[in-house]
Amino acid sequence: MEVKATLKVVDQAGLKSHPGVCKGQTQKQLVGFPELPTDRIRVSVATYEAGSLEELHWHPIESFYYVISGHATIRDIEGKEYEAGAGTFIYTPAGIAGAHEWEVKEGLQLIAVRATTEPNRKFQFTVDKKTKRSYIDLDELVRRGGMSFRSHY
């Protein structure tokens, strides 16, 4: 019996950076994207410039972040602040209760893991801090393939 290797070893230095969801953020797509598909996870390296702010938002899937370098203040839906630096990890459960905001104090780099490879499940809903109302811009909804959905029934 012959077994063909499926192991992938990639130097991220050769990967292109793409604009992120907020001003001052870029992402390198590692796995779970068309260039290197996976079954269930999506991983990228996100880099934020000092002074970047990713507004309060939530995802309909769980997310995990591991801070490689830099420093940021993370806020939850209640406004509680957490300091995050190298070695810190952040887990956000799916839904508005897991909402979070990043205020980058010094250049931040982190590994971002999403619990799906389906772009139409990786939505990011911005939260109005006063009303807790959530929204997503139409162009972002279109970009993520969210104009129609498969039925869950």
HEC sequence for 16-49: CEEECCCCCEEEEEEECECCECCCCCEEEEEEEC
Q: Retrieve residue 4's tokens.
A: 């063909």
Mean pLDDT of 13-24: 90
- 65-75: per-residue pLDDT in tens? 999 999 999 99
Cβ atoms within 10 Å of 141's Cβ, excluding its own = 14
- 101-139: per-residue pLDDT in tens? 999 999 999 999 998 888 767 788 889 999 999 988 888
Direct distance between the N- and C-terminal alpha carbons of the chain, in angstroms, rounded to an integer: 41
pLDDT at residue 75 in the model = 97
pLDDT at residue 152 in the model = 63
Can you give the pTM of this predicted structure?
0.86
Mean pLDDT of 38-50: 94
Which domains are assigned to the chain? 19-128 (2.60.120.10)
CA–CA–CA angle 32, 33, 37 (5° rounding): 60
Mean pLDDT of 89-107: 95
**Helix count (H) and strand count (E) of the chain?**
1, 10
